[in-house]
Homo-oligomer: A and B are copies of this chain.
Amino acid sequence: MRPIDFWFSIGSTYSFLTVMRLPVYVREHGVKITWRPFNVRSIMIEQKNIPFADKPSKSAYMWRDIERRAAKYGLSASLPAPYPLQNLALANQVALLGMKEGWGEDYAVATYRRWFQQGEPAGSEPNLSDSLKEIGQDPVRIIEIANSAQIEDALALETEKAKTLGVFGAPSFLVDGEVFWGDDRLDDAVSWARSGRVV
C-alpha cells in the first residue's frame, strides 16, 4: 500500500471533519496516514483563492454542508464556528511541533473540538493552553518553542512543500503524486493507495 499524507491546516473548516474522524477511520480501515500541518492561508492568498469571504451564499452552504456531514459521521458541532481564525499560523506551528514530539494528532483533535463544539477559536486563548493541558502537555514550554524562528521556518518549509506538490486547499490527501482535495476525497485517496485508481 502506498503511503498517504494528510495535509491539513487548523483554520480550515472542512478539516474539522477529517481531523475528528481520522483516528477512528484509520483503525477501521487498517491504513496508515501521516498528518502534515501547513499554512493553507498563505497559499490561498498567494493563489487568489478566496472561497468564502464576501460570498454569503457559498458560506451559508459550507456551514450547512459541514453540519449535515458531521451528523453523518456522528460528530457534534455548534455551527457556524468563529471564522476565520486570527492566529492560524501559531495554531499550526504548535501542531507541527506536536507532530515532531508525538502529541500532534491529539492536539489537533482537542483544539478542533474546542473550536467547533465550544466556540473557542483555535490558536488563541483559552483554546490553545486548555487543549495542550487536556492532552498532558505544558502550554508555557510549547508556546515558547512554537513561536521560535525554527518552528516558524519549519512551517513555512512544509507549506512550500505542499504548494510544490499541487496542494491549493485543505484538507488534501497526497498519494503517489496524486492530490485528493477535501474531506470527501478520503475514500478516493485510500483507494488510490491500495490500487492506483479510484474505485
Contact = CB atoms under 8 A, between A and B. Distances in A.
Given A168-B55, A184-B184, A198 B61 contact: no
A55 B197 CA distance: 26
Q: How large is the interface on A (under 10, 10 to 19, 20 to 34, 35 or more residues)?
A: 20 to 34
B188 A68 contact: yes
Contact of A48 (B49, B55, B198): B55
Contacts of A169: 58
A61 B199 contact: no
Given A55-B49, A58-B169, A72 B199 contact: yes
A68 B168 contact: no
5 contacts: A48-B55, A49-B58, A58-B168, A69-B198, A72-B198
Given A60-B166, A72-B188, A72-B197, 7 more contacts: A47-B58, A48-B54, A49-B58, A55-B168, A58-B168, A68-B192, A72-B198
